[in-house]
Structures are given as C-alpha cells and as structure tokens.
A and B are shown apart, each in its own frame.
Chain A
Amino acid sequence: MTAVDAGMLTTADGRPLKDALARAEGRAKRRAFLLVAPLLIFILVTFVWPILQVLEQSVYNPKFSDNMPGMVSWFASHPVGTEPDEAAYATLVGDLKAAAEAKTVAVVGERVNYALPGTRSLFTAVGRKAKTLEPPFKESLIAVDPKWGDPDLWGVMRQVAKPYTGDFFLAAVDLERDKNGSIVRVNENERVYVNLFLRTFAMSAFITAICLVLAYPVAHLLAVLPLRQSNLLMILVLLPFWTSLLVRTTSWMVLLQEQGVINNILVALGIISDDGRLQMINNRMGTTIAMTHILLPFMILPLYSVMRPIPPSYVRAARSLGATSWTAFRRVYFPQTVPGIGAGTLLVFILSVGYYITPALVGGSSGTLISNLIAFHVNKSNNWSMAAALATILLVAILILYWLYDKLVGIDKLKLG
C-alpha cells in the first residue's frame, strides 16, 4: 500500500481508495436501485402523491379566486373596511356574468356558502339573471336580493378570495372567524369535530388496550404450543383475515342486534327479559366489540413474532435462578415482548383511529368516529377541503404519536414480524 498522505488511503495504482470502492460497488448499487425502482414509483404515485394532494387541498381552495378574477384584484387593491362602491359592484357583476357564462357561478356560491351559510342561492339566482342586470349595478343587485348589500357577505368574499386559507383547519377544530376576522369558537350546537377527535382517540386507545389484554395470552399460547396445534390455532387467528371486512361486520350485526342471536339466547336462557334486551349495537359498545374482533390479529401477529423466538430456557433460567413464575414473567419474559407490544399497539391504534366501515355500520350515532365525518365530506357534502383538513389533523396526530413512541421506546425496537 502506498499512502499519498497520512489521511488518505489509495489503491495499489494510486487512485483514492474511496473512489475505487464507489466505482467497484456502483454497478451493483445501480442494479439494486433498478430492482426497487418499480416499487418506489408505485409508492410515490399511489401513496406519497395523494397525501401531498390532500395536504394541499386542506389549505388550497381556488373555487372563488379562479372564477372571480375581478373581485380578487379589487380586494387586493382595496384595504379591509373599504365600503364597496359602484365600481366594486360593477366588477362583481362582470365576474358573475362571466361565471354564469362558464356555468361556474354555483361553484363560487358553494365556496362562499361554506363560510356564510345560506348564500349559495344568492349566486345561482344572480347567475340566471346576470345578463339582464343594468347599471347602476349596486342598486340592481340589491334589487335582486338585499343581501348583496350585506357587509358580512363582502367580508366573507374577501376571505374566500384568497385561494390559500387556514379556514378549513379552523373549522376542523370547531373554530371560525367572526366579522372582525378574529378567531372564535363556533356555536355550541355546531361543535362536532373536537368532540369526535377526542372520542376517536379515546375509543381507539380503549380498543387497543382490550386487544392487548386479549392478544397477549393467545400469542403466548401460539408461541409455546407444539407446531401442529399452534398451526391450527394460527389458522383460527387468521381466519378473520380471509373473510371480507363487510361480512365480518355484518355478522356482528346479526349477533348483536336487539333481535339478534346473543339477545335471543340470553332471553331463552332467562338471563334477561324480553323487554330488557341488551342494546349492544348502534352505539359505542357495538363499535368496540366489532373493531376489537377485526383488529385482534394485528395485535396477535406482532406479539407472536417476538414471542416465538424467545426460547423457553429464558424463563427456566430465571426460575432456576430463584425467581417465582410471576417474577420470571415480569422481569424476563415481558421485557422481551415489549417490541411486539409496541408494534401491535401502534398498529392497532393507528388502524382504529382511521377506521371507517365498521363504525359506520355498527356505531349508530354515539359510536361514529372522525373518519366517518371525513367520508361524509368526501362522499356526501363534497367539501373536500374540509375532509382534507380533518385527514391532515389525523395524520399529524399519528405522526406525533409515532415521534413520541420513538422518544419513549425507540422506533428501532419496533418489531412487526
């Protein structure tokens, strides 16, 4: 070996060793990259990209700004508090005429309606009459509907003229801007999201805890039984995986409903009276039972995967060293299963936080979760920005959880199998 200087190693013919290494291994690395490239592209297209879209949509809503360019520039050039003059109304009518032509006036109305309910028809009505409007526009618009003179409406239009807005996030935590632009809580009878977020996290935590309590002994049994029996048990554990989620959920409906199997059996056995049938579905109990059942394998499998390789000799060693069976479990067995507990808990919690079909079917009104409202905004109300804001909060909450887990336990300790 010839050293050019003390700090740098070189190959026999004098090239820096690092370069030579990079060159020698570069080909293999490129080939390896090509092999994973399809997956990488797939993930980018189907996972990362949609999530970025969702993030953008939660703060970006150009429905007003795209279709009302005149108003956007008018708001830009006139500060807050400017009394809208005839020129402003002329600009508004011009925009409305163009929007009516392009059939987008209802889209604008919808955007304004999110911020100020009851204004959608203001726009659609004017849209139909836009061609007939004559100067002076202020008078003729107010003649169509006096609400056009309402300073609140103008204040809201100024707000929604900005395509980027935090309003959806405010709404997602039951806040709104009042007339002066300061942030206040929405009316008490319209507060829903904070309550649902809290319920979602509380129920998820509860379901996760039940799953852990139920799964731990099962996973242990799976890990210590002879292969033949454990395989059979494993099939029973996995059976739910091979059944459609809908089938499983509807089976629970059959079992739990008021005239369902369980109630019928209890009545037949005389444990409860016919009038005293238990309400086990369309409430939190229904959601908890069905989700626990569905998510149980996600707890069992990571636990099993950490328990299986733990040789029985550890506990035996502890016992031979003088530990009672409880001490041996607590000091020797349990600590070694912590990575599986972490993985299973995290997995079940994250899955249940985002669960949607099961609470929708068996949750009634008290057992619905935040994801049901996200679905509502996607499918029914078509307020995607709202859905995106709610989904983003959920995502951030989970990331925080993940970060917390990393701080407390360490992500490298996570063991999924």
Chain B
Amino acid sequence: MKKLLILTTALTGFGFAASAEDITVVSWGGAYTKSQVEAYHKPFTAKTGINVTSVDSDNPGPQVKTQEEAGNVTIDVADVEYSDAVRLCDEGMLETIGMDALPPGADGTPAKDDFLPGSVTDCAVATIVFSTNYGYDTTKFPNGGPTTIADFFDTKKFPGKRGLGKRPKANLEMALMADGVPAADVYKTLGTPEGVDRAFKKLDSIKKDIVWWEAGAQAPQLLADGEVSMTTAYNGRLFSAAIADGKPFKQVWDGQVYEYDLFVVPKGAPHKDAAIEFVKFATSTQALADQAKWIAYGPARKSSAALVGKFNDGKTDMGPYMPTNPENMKNALGSSYEFWVDHDAELNDRFNAWLAAN
C-alpha cells in the first residue's frame, strides 16, 4: 500500500522539493515564521552557507505524519506542538536528536540544566513557550474591555463576534476555565464525559457569534478587519499586530493556555544532517534570545532569558508580553500533551459533530 502511495504523492510533491543545498523548514507562517527567519534562518545561512526554504502551514505536525505515511518526506525540519512531537516520536516518524547532542548554554550551563523542564524529548527540541490567549479591539469597548476568560464567553456584557481556532484544543480548556473550573482541575474535568459536555455547553453559549480561524495569522486579521470584537490567538500574533503594526489590540492573559513549540526532524528527511545542525543552531542561547526581539514568545533556554531585552523597535520591553511573565501566569494552564495524545481523535470527532450540528 505504501509503495502505491509513494507514486501518487510523489507526483504532487514536486513543487516542494528544494535543491540539494537547501533545507526545508515548515512552520506556522506570518509573524512567527518571520521571527524564525530573522533569528534562525538568516544567521544559519550566513554561518553555514546552507539556504533555508520556509514553508507555511496551518499545523505542521499532521503534515509530517502525512508525508511519513505516504513515504515521501520533503520536510527537513518542522515546528510542531508538544502532543504532535510526542506522538510522532512514539510512532517512529522522527529522527532522534537527544539532549546530549545539544550545545551548552552561552553561560556554560549544560543543555540538560539550561532547557526548561520537559522541553527536550528524544526526538524534539523546544524553541519557545507560546500561549493561546485572547485579545480584543480597544476601540470596540470604550468603557473598559474584558479582563477575564469568563468575559470572552459573555456576549451580553461584551457584545460582538468572537474569533476561535477551528480545533478543540485550547478552546475546551478555556471554556471550562470560563465556566469556573480552576486551571489545576481542567484536564481532570475534561477527562470525564460530563466535563466534555460542560465545555461544549459553554462553547454552545457563544456558537452563533463565533468566526473560526484556521491559520494563526488569520486571528489578528479578523480583529483588524473588524470581523470580530475579540479573538483567541497565539499570543505572539497579537503582540506583532499591536506593537509592530500599531493596531489598537489589548491582550487578556487570564485563562491563557501555554505550551512548548518544538523543532523536529522527520525520519528520512532529505537533508537529515543539515537539518539537525539547524536545530542545534536555532536552539542555541543566542538564537533563542534573538527570536524574542521579533515576537513575544518565551525562549526555552534559561540562559536566553537573561539576554531578552527589547523588541526590535528598540523601545518595547518584551517582559510583559511573555506568557511566562509572572503577571500573566496568575490564572494560566499548561497544555497537557498526555491528555491530547489520548483524546485527540475522540474530541476532534465530537468537535466536528458539534460544528456541523445546526
């Protein structure tokens, strides 16, 4: 079966293949990819002479899996979420990198002490901590905007359309937190059928007002176009829109769901060695610190945190915009990959059914 699929996917894969010297990195597009290009790709090319081709995706994890199953891998490096990194690794679809291969921090700290806990697995190396939080257009709420996650689900108090990612992940957690479940109990609750019902019921309360986004860059766009009055988004996107593009957006950190984003090298990547070199380079202290100049995601190395200063406009202090800033962590939830690895299929089915229901 696989051989047959190779044949057909090969026909569609032509456009993707880069030349022998290039590596292909698939990431989430928009401001986030731009930050990677500036902080990783350009310095890497300058240092090694290897060109980096950037490909955008709504979610690179499943794309890696599709290519692995078809036996036609064109991706060298993919930027994936934690649950995908774990799952792909379990299924033997990723090259092993490992902590030992990673260089120590700039201050000499060994990698295993420098990286945040759990941010390096057998197959994946985290680059950033990102968060799904929500932002709103301040001009729509002249008398004071929303401040809590519950406000997001309160269309009476704060009228207007809501933007949400078209996937159950993060939405269900936020729905429960908005419904009064403490962050610590969210996954316990979501593990029970009643908890799932409760989350969907909360989503139901605003269903008619939801505009769905799929690619990360769509969320701030919906807000900018005035299509929604508030939207969940990856926090860095809201930051870029507000600070770099000067939009009147404000972020609300209450009920944020944060997690790692990781680099992986798919098994059978066309330029495996160069790809691993790239991952090592990109997750070095300096590269991670540099990225924070471009987007508000927290670096996964402790040694980088000290080097993070101001945004590339030279005046915005990045600290308050980081998901890990103590101010922002008052009511925050760390995304559970264990939960999503197990319940992905079932909750996706349920989510699709809920979406399709009239």
**Does a CB–CB distance below 8 Å link A and B in the complex?**
yes
A residues lining the B interface (CB < 8 Å)? 45-46, 49-50, 53, 56-57, 60, 62, 102-107, 109-110, 113-114, 117-121, 124, 127, 189-192, 195-196, 199, 257-259, 282, 360, 364-366, 368, 373, 376, 378-384
**Which parts of B210-258 form the interface with A (CB within 8 Å)?**
210-212, 214, 225-227
The answer to whether the Cβ of B69 comes within 8 Å of any Cβ in the partner chain is yes
Known: A117-B345, A373-B356. 18 other contacts (CB 8 A): A46-B8, A49-B8, A53-B1, A106-B87, A107-B91, A113-B346, A118-B342, A120-B345, A121-B338, A192-B349, A195-B357, A195-B358, A199-B356, A365-B355, A376-B352, A379-B66, A380-B62, A382-B65
Q: Give 5 closest A-B pairs by Cβ, nearest first.
A: A103-B92, A117-B346, A106-B90, A192-B353, A259-B226
Q: Is the CB of A113 within 8 A of B342?
A: yes
Q: Is the CB of A191 within 8 A of B1?
A: no
Q: Do most interface residues of chain A lie in helix, strand or loop, or is the interface mixed?
A: helix
- Nearest Cβ on chain A to B219's Cβ, whole angstroms: 14
Residue interface mask B250-282, A partner, CB < 8 A = 1 = 000000000000000000000000000000000
- Nearest Cβ on chain A to B98's Cβ, whole angstroms: 15
**Which parts of B1-60 form the interface with A (CB within 8 Å)?**
1, 4-5, 7-8, 11, 59
**Which parts of B306-358 form the interface with A (CB within 8 Å)?**
338, 341-346, 348-350, 352-358
- Nearest Cβ on chain B to A385's Cβ, whole angstroms: 11
Q: How far is the CA of A57 from the CA of B69 in the complex (A)?
A: 13
Nearest CB in chain B to that of A191: its residue: B353
Q: Which residues of B contact A124 (CB under 8 A)?
A: 90, 341
Contact A118 B343, CB 8 Å, known A50-B8, A366-B358: yes
**Which parts of B142-171 form the interface with A (CB within 8 Å)?**
161, 167
Q: Is the CB of B200 within 8 A of A381?
A: no
Contact of B59 among A50, A105, A380 (CB under 8 A): A380
The answer to whether the Cβ of B63 comes within 8 Å of any Cβ in the partner chain is yes
Q: How far is the CA of A199 from the CA of B353 in the complex (A)?
A: 13
- Nearest Cβ on chain A to B124's Cβ, whole angstroms: 14
Q: Is the CB of A114 within 8 A of B92?
A: no
B residues lining the A interface (CB < 8 Å)? 1, 4-5, 7-8, 11, 59, 62-63, 65-66, 69, 87, 90-92, 161, 167, 197, 200, 207, 210-212, 214, 225-227, 338, 341-346, 348-350, 352-358
Contact A379 B63, CB 8 Å, known A45-B7, A368-B356: yes
Nearest CB in chain B to that of A119: its residue: B342
Q: Which of A57, A106, A118 has the largest number of chain B CB atoms within 10 A?
A: A106
Nearest CB in chain B to that of A103: its residue: B92
Q: Do most interface residues of chain B lie in helix, strand or loop, or is the interface mixed?
A: helix
9 contacts between A and B (CB under 8 A): A53-B1, A53-B4, A106-B92, A189-B197, A189-B353, A257-B227, A365-B210, A373-B356, A381-B344
Q: Which residues of B contact A379 (CB under 8 A)?
A: 62-63, 66
Q: How far is the CA of A127 from the CA of B357 in the complex (A)?
A: 38
- Nearest Cβ on chain B to A54's Cβ, whole angstroms: 10
Contact of B225 among A50, A192, A259, A383 (CB under 8 A): A259
Q: Which residues of A contact B225 (CB under 8 A)?
A: 257, 259
Q: Which residues of B contact A119 (CB under 8 A)?
A: 342
Q: Which residues of B contact A199 (CB under 8 A)?
A: 356
Q: Is the CB of A282 within 8 A of B358?
A: no
Q: Which residues of A contact B338 (CB under 8 A)?
A: 121
Q: Which of B200, B225, B349, B354 has the largest number of chain A CB atoms within 10 A?
A: B349
Nearest CB in chain A to that of B92: its residue: A103
Q: Which residues of A contact B343 (CB under 8 A)?
A: 117-118
Contact of A190 among B62, B349, B358 (CB under 8 A): B349
Q: How far is the CA of A380 from the CA of B61 in the complex (A)?
A: 8
Contact A364 B91, CB 8 Å, known A113-B342, A113-B345, A118-B346: no
Contact A282 B92, CB 8 Å, known A195-B357, A365-B356: no
Q: Is the CB of B92 within 8 A of A53?
A: no
Contact of A381 among B342, B345, B350, B354 (CB under 8 A): B345
Nearest CB in chain B to that of A56: its residue: B1
Q: Which residues of B contact A106 (CB under 8 A)?
A: 87, 90-92
Nearest CB in chain A to that of B197: its residue: A189
Q: Is the CB of B356 within 8 A of A57?
A: no
Q: Is the CB of B62 within 8 A of A381?
A: yes
Contact A120 B342, CB 8 Å, known A190-B349, A192-B352, A257-B225: yes
Q: Which residues of B contact A189 (CB under 8 A)?
A: 197, 200, 350, 353-354, 357
Q: Which residues of B contact A53 (CB under 8 A)?
A: 1, 4-5, 8
Q: How far is the CA of A62 from the CA of B1 in the complex (A)?
A: 10
